[in-house]
Every structure is written in structure tokens, then in C-alpha cells.
């Protein structure tokens, strides 16, 4: 772990703490800026050798922990509680880095490409479902926020889904660059 990663994590934590009130004032900044930022802290601080044991073969155990923790923080009830209850808000600051960001990176390093693709597809479909839910719900889902804010969050989920789909698809279409030719025929060396 480099000093730059520790400094970046400390800076993100400082921003998340100091700007807590404005970030939590709107669901778009709460769920699409603060929460991913807190998860990023754990990802930046993940030790390279962590999770290399037999208990985490293929990264499955740590990826399951990350998926369940992230799923908990996607629930409207959890969002409401984080805004209204200081204890739940403090738990968010601890669990998102330690139970989402860190295990996600640790599991991702060891995961088979097929599992990675499956998780990417699941993330996109979940963002689409959340976008539909927040834009089409006839009532407020999160009691801490207004219906207009809820609609904007749904649009934000659509934007994130599109951005991730492009980010994950472009490398597949472009492919990897071929190694430079050395002038030596294959098998001659």
C-alpha cells in the first residue's frame, strides 16, 4: 500500500465527513457521491495479500460480503435511517469501506473473468431496476427526501448505468494492442 493511496483515502474520508450535511441533503449526492466515495476508501486501503487464503477461493467469499453490504445500503429504509439516526450514519461510515469497498477489491482480484462479467451485468441490471423504481414509484420511497429528489435519483441511476456500460464495453470492442513485432520468426529463438 502506497502513501498516495492512504492520503487519497484520508482525503475522501475528510470530504465525506466535512461535507456530510450537504452530501446527505439530496439523495443523488448521498447515494451516488458519498456512499461510493466511502466504498472507495476501503478499495484504496485493501492490502494486496489480503484474502488470499483458501476461505476466499476465487474471491467468492469477499465478493458475497461486498454484495450483501452494498445491497443493505441500497434499501430505502437504510438511507432514511442514515439521514435520521446518527448511529446508523456512523455505521455507514464504517461498513461501506470495510464491508463493501475492501472486500470488493480483494474478491475482484481473485475472481474468474466469467464471475466478473456476471457481477457487472448484475450491477447494470440493479441500477436499471433502481432507476425504474425511483422514477415510477407513485409514492415516496425514502421518507427523508422529496418525490422530486427521488425522481432525480432515478435519473442519476440511469446515468451511472449508461456510464458503466460504456466504460465496461469499450475495452471489449477496442481490444488489446498487439505486442510490437521483433523481427524474429515464431519458434526461431
Which pLDDT belongs to residue 183?
A: 59
CA pair distance 17, 37, nearest whole angstrom: 11
Mean per-residue pLDDT, 50-61: 80
62 pLDDT higher than 80: yes
pTM above 0.75, yes or no: yes
34 pLDDT higher than 90: yes
163 pLDDT higher than 90: yes
Residue 45: pLDDT band (50, 70, 90) is very high
Q: Which three cell numbers stand for residue 99?
A: 464491508
15 pLDDT higher than 80: yes
Q: Is the torsion defined by CA of 151, 153, 156, 161 positive or negative?
A: negative
Residue 2: pLDDT band (50, 70, 90) is confident
Instruction: Answer left, alpha or beta for residue 123, where phi above 0 means left and psi between -120 and 50 means alpha.
Output: alpha
CA pair distance 187, 189, nearest whole angstrom: 6
Q: Which residues of 87-110 are buried (b: 16+ CB within 10 A; e: fewer)?
A: ebeebbbebbbbbbbbbbbbbbeb
Q: What percent of the chain has pLDDT over 90?
A: 72
Which pLDDT belongs to residue 181?
A: 59
What's the pLDDT tens digit per position in 89-105?
Answer: 999 999 999 999 999 99
Which pLDDT belongs to residue 54?
A: 80
Residue 58: pLDDT band (50, 70, 90) is confident
Q: Is the torsion defined by CA of 172, 49, 5, 12 positive or negative?
A: positive
Residue 9: pLDDT band (50, 70, 90) is very high
In whole angstroms, what separates CA 31 from the centre of its chain? 10
Picking from 31, 127, 32, the residue whose alpha carbon sits closest to that of residue 79 is: 31
Give the position of cell 427523508.
Answer: 144
Q: Is the torsion defined by CA of 93, 99, 103, 105 positive or negative?
A: negative
Amino acid at each position: 500500500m502506497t502513501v498516495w493511496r492512504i492520503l487519497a483515502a484520508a482525503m475522501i474520508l475528510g470530504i465525506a465527513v466535512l461535507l456530510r450535511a450537504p452530501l446527505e441533503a439530496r439523495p443523488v449526492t448521498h447515494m451516488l457521491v458519498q456512499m461510493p466515495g466511502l466504498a472507495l476508501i476501503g478499495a484504496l486501503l485493501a492490502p494486496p495479500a489480503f484474502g488470499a487464503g483458501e476461505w476466499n477461493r476465487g474471491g467468492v467469499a469477499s465478493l458475497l460480503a461486498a454484495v450483501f453490504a452494498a445491497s443493505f445500503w441500497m434499501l430505502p429504509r437504510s438511507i432514511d435511517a442514515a439521514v435520521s439516526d446518527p448511529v446508523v450514519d456512523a455505521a455507514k461510515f464504517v461498513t461501506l469501506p470495510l464491508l463493501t469497498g475492501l472486500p470488493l477489491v480483494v474478491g475482484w482480484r481473485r475472481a474468474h473473468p466469467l464471475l466478473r462479467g456476471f457481477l457487472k451485468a448484475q450491477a447494470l441490471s440493479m441500477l436499471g431496476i433502481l432507476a425504474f423504481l425511483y422514477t415510477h414509484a407513485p409514492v415516496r420511497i425514502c421518507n427523508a427526501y422529496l418525490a422530486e429528489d427521488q425522481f432525480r435519483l432515478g435519473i442519476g441511476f440511469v446515468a451511472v448505468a449508461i456510464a458503466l456500460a460504456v466504460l465496461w464495453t469499450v475495452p471489449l470492442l477496442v481490444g488489446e494492442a498487439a505486442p510490437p513485432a521483433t523481427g524474429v520468426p515464431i519458434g526461431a529463438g
